[in-house]
Amino acid sequence: MSSLLISALPRSTLIKLGPLALIVVGYAVEKHFISRPALFSNTIALNTYMALSTKNFHIALEWYANIGLVLGIIAILFYISNTSLPLVFYKVSIIYMSIIVGIVIFIT
């Protein structure tokens, strides 16, 4: 048995806790835009979830995750270099907001 406090929760709750946290953060913080670090962490969370899952995902969801991963890597590299990206990049990145990624993970 783990000594982590959170391990006292039932496994069924633990499995959903990550996506629920993304949904809450997305609702609370990302009302008008998504930051580049958030885009990176959201797409990493989505891709990690899918890679570790034993489920077979629809090809459209795989494309969503793969495109998101590329956008996330671009976002974090530009953030590190303190360089802005074109406005269209930020408009496209909205589909990778925490609330959306959290819902995608939660329902799959």
Structure tokens at 88: 């269209």
Write down the pLDDT at residue 104: 94
Instruction: Give the alpha-carbon dihedral of 104, 90, 44, 30, to 10 degrees.
Output: -60
- pLDDT 10s digit of each residue in the chain, 108 long? 578 898 888 888 888 888 888 888 888 887 777 889 999 999 999 999 999 888 899 999 999 999 999 999 999 999 999 999 999 999 999 999 998 999 999 898
Question: Rounded CA gap, 50 and 66, in Å?
Answer: 10
- For residues 33-43, one letter each, b for 16 or more C-beta atoms within 10 angstroms of the residue's C-beta and e for the rest, the string is ebebebbbbbb
How many domains are contained in the chain? 1
* Cα angle value 80/95/33 (rounded, 5°): 55
Domain interval for residue 32: 5-107
Kindly report the pTM of this predicted structure.
Answer: 0.84
